[in-house]
A and B are shown apart, each in its own frame.
Chain A
Amino acid sequence: MSSTPVEATPWAPPRQRWLLPVAVWAVLLTSPAWLPLLGGYTALAGRVVVLGLAAMSLNILLGFTGVMSFGHAAYFGLGAYGAGLTLKYLADSTSLALLLGTLLGGVAGALFGALIVRRRGVYFAMVTIAFGQICYYIAFRWNSLTGGDDGLRGFRRQPLHFGPLTLDVQNNAVVFYYFILAVFALATGLMALLLRSPFGRTLIAIRENERRARFLGIAVERHIWLSFSISCGFTAVAGALYALLNNFADPLALHYSLSGEIVIMAVMGGMRSFWGPLIGAAVFVVLQDYVSSITVNWMSFVGLLFVLVVLFFPRGLLGMLGRSGAP
C-alpha cells in the first residue's frame, strides 16, 4: 500500500487518481507469482478477488447510495446456486453458468428490492436480512434440488472455448485465477462507469441529502431500486464465481453471517472509496484464513475485528489515509 493520500471518490483530481488502481492491479495481476512464497495459495487470491467483488458491489448501495443492505449474502448465494445448478443440470458451460447465476441473483434482487425501497435505515436493513433468510431456508430445505444442508455438489467448472482457443480453467488454478480476474475487471469497469455517470452522481446526491434530491425532482425510490438491483446483480456475479472456484455451493453462502462479513469488508476498507471494499476483503480473508488455522476461537477474533473497526476505525483503511469523506 502506498501512503500517499488517496482520494475518497473515484472522480478525484487526476493527480493522484491513478495511483491506487495501478497499485491494486499490479498486486492482483502478479499475486500467483509471489503468493505461494508467502505461504498463501492461488485459491486464496481467488477468494480475495471474489469477496472483494461482492463487497464492492454492496458498496454501490452502502457507500454510494447511502442505503444499508444486510442481506447481500442472499444474492451472492443465489449467484452461486444459479451457477452450480446450471452446470449440474443444464449445460457443461462455465460462461452460461456465470450468466445464469448472475441473472438469478439480479432478478431476485430486483423483485425483493421493489418490495422494500420505501424502507430506510435500520428498518431497511432488517427487511433485507429477513428476505435474505428466505433464500437460505429454500436452499436449506429443498433437498432434492439443492442438496440441503450438505450443499450442492457434483458439478465442475468446464474449460472455456474461444473459437479454436481453449482455456483450461478446470484443472489449472492459475488460469482460472486469471479468468476470475478478467470477470472482475469487466465488472469493476462497468461499476466505475456507472458511478461516474449522471446516474451514479444522482445516487450520491440521494446519499448526501435525500430530501433535497426529492425536491429536485429526482425519483428517489426508483433510483434506490435500480441501485439495489444493480448491486445485487454484481454480487451474484461474485457468487457465481465463488461456486466455480470451489466447485461447490452451500447454504452458508446465503446466510446472514456472510452478509455481515461482506458489510464489514466494505466498512473496514473504506466505504466512501471505490477500491476500499476490495482492500477490506483482502485483509478480512487473509486474516480469517490465518486465524482459523491457528486457533479454534476464530469467531472471537472475527467478532473483535468487527467491534474494533466500528469503535476505532469507522472510516476504514482508505478513509484513514484519505483526507475527505467523514463517515
Chain B
Amino acid sequence: MLQLVLFNVTNGLIIGAFYVLMALGLSMILNLSNVINFAHGNFLALGGYFAYTLAPYLGFWGALLVSPLLTACVGFAVERVMIRKVYNRDPVYSLLLTFGLAFIMQDLAREIWGTQGLPLGVPAVLAQPLSARLFFITGYRLFMVAIVIVAVAGLFAFLRYTRVGVRIRAGTLDLEMVAALGVNVRLLRSLNFAVGCLLAGLSGVLAAGQIGLNPNMGDGLLMPSFIAIIVGGVGSLTGTLLGGLLIGVAGAVTTVFLPTASEAVVYLIMAVVLLLRPRGLLGEEGLLS
C-alpha cells in the first residue's frame, strides 16, 4: 500500500511538473498582458511536433533545444500579428481570440502531421528503467523532472537577474509606470508571450517523449494549468509552482483510492481554496480580483 502511494506521489510530481511548466507560461502572459492564452496547449503540441520533425536531423538533444525556441518564435509572431490588437479592449475579446487561435492551430497540426498519434524516440540512455526494486521508474521520467527543475530555476533567475526579467516583473505590478519610465512595453509584452510559449514548447517535447504526439495533446493540460494558477494565486509565479505540484500530487494520490474522482479532487481543491482564501494560496490582495 505504502509502495503504491509512494509510486503515485512520484507520478503526481511528474505530472505536476508538467502542469507547472504549462501554468508558469500561462501565468506570465496573464500577469503582464491580462490575456488567458487558450491556445497554450496548442503551443505545447507545436513544440512536440517541431521536435518530431527535427529529431531526424538534429537528434533528440538538438530537437529538445531548438523546438522550444521555434515555438517561442511562433508565439512572438502570433503576439505581434493578433494578440496585441486586443490589449486595450474588453477582456472578452482576448479570450475569444486565443480561443479561435486554438481551433486553428489544432486543425493545422492535424492537417500537417495527421490525426494519428506519432511517437518521439528518446535516447536509449534515458529509456531504460532505473529501479525495479522499490518501484518501476524509467530514466526518462527522472530526466523530465530534472529538465523542468532546470527550466523553472532558469525562469526565476531570468526574472530576477536580467534586465528584461526585472522589467517583466515590474510591468506585472504597474505597466503604466514601466512605460512612463521609457521601457518599450510593446516589445516587453511580445518577449513575455514568447517566453511563455517557450515553456509550453519545452513541455511539449518532454511530453512527446513520454506519451507520444497527437493534435490535441495539450488540451488535457490546459484546465489543470488554469486551476494551478487559481489555487496558487493570480500574480504569484511561486504560487503557480506550488499549485501545479499540489494538484498533480493530489490527483495522482486520489487515483489510488478512487480512480474516477482523480479529476474531481483537483476541482474540489480549487473550490475549497476559493472559499477559504479567495485570492489563492500566495495571491496578491486586490490583483485582478
Contact = CB atoms under 8 A, between A and B. Distances in A.
Contacts of A303: 99-105, 107
Contact of B111 (A120, A138, A297): A297
Interface in B261-289: 261, 263-264, 267, 270-271, 274-275, 278, 288-289
Contacts of A131: 267, 271
Given A137-B264, A299-B107, A300-B103, A327 B288 contact: no
Interface string B86-109: 100111111111011111111110
A68 B92 contact: yes
A225 interface: no
A267 B92 contact: yes
In this complex, the member of B95, B229, B267 whose beta carbon has the largest number of chain A beta carbons within 10 angstroms is: B95
A62 B91 CA distance: 11
Given A120-B289, A122-B30, A126-B230, A306 B270 contact: no
**What range describes how many residues of B lie at the interface?**
35 or more
Question: In terms of DSSP, what is the predominant structure of the interface of chain A?
Answer: helix
Nearest to A135: B267
B236 to A, nearest CB: 13
Nearest to B100: A306
A118 B93 CA distance: 21
A310 B234 contact: no
Question: In terms of DSSP, what is the predominant structure of the interface of chain B?
Answer: helix
A314 interface: yes
A115 interface: yes
A327 B227 CA distance: 29
Contacts, number: 130
A302 interface: yes
Contact of A122 (B34, B101, B223, B264): B34
B75 to A, nearest CB: 16
B85 interface: yes
Contacts of B85: 311
**What range describes how many residues of A lie at the interface?**
35 or more
Interface string A244-271: 0000000000001000100110010001
A116 B95 CA distance: 18
A141 B267 CA distance: 14
B57 to A, nearest CB: 29
Contacts of B101: 303, 306-307
A276 B230 CA distance: 33
A121 interface: yes
A70 interface: yes
B87 to A, nearest CB: 12
A237 B82 CA distance: 36
B103 A263 contact: no
A116 B278 CA distance: 8
A297 B103 CA distance: 10
Interface string A86-128: 0000000000000000000000000000011011111101110
B91 A133 contact: no
A275 to B, nearest CB: 19
Interface in A172-207: none
A71 to B, nearest CB: 11
A314 B89 contact: yes
Contacts of A24: none
Nearest to A266: B92
A122 B36 contact: yes
Contacts of A116: 274
B104 A122 contact: no
B106 A299 contact: yes
A115 B223 contact: no
Contacts of B278: 118-119
Interface in A2-37: none
A303 B91 CA distance: 18
B168 interface: no
A311 B98 CA distance: 12
A321 interface: no
Contact of A260 (B99, B105, B275): B99
B103 A123 contact: no
Given A68-B91, A299-B103, A133 B288 contact: no
A134 interface: yes
B131 interface: no
18 contacts: A115-B275, A116-B274, A119-B278, A119-B288, A120-B288, A126-B36, A127-B230, A133-B223, A134-B271, A141-B260, A141-B263, A271-B92, A302-B100, A302-B103, A303-B105, A307-B100, A311-B85, A327-B93
Given A307-B97, A307-B104, 18 more contacts: A118-B289, A120-B289, A122-B36, A126-B230, A127-B230, A130-B267, A133-B223, A256-B223, A264-B100, A297-B107, A297-B111, A299-B107, A300-B103, A302-B100, A306-B97, A306-B103, A310-B96, A311-B85
Interface of B: 30, 34-36, 38, 82, 85-86, 89-97, 99-108, 111, 223, 226-227, 229-230, 234, 260-261, 263-264, 267, 270-271, 274-275, 278, 288-289
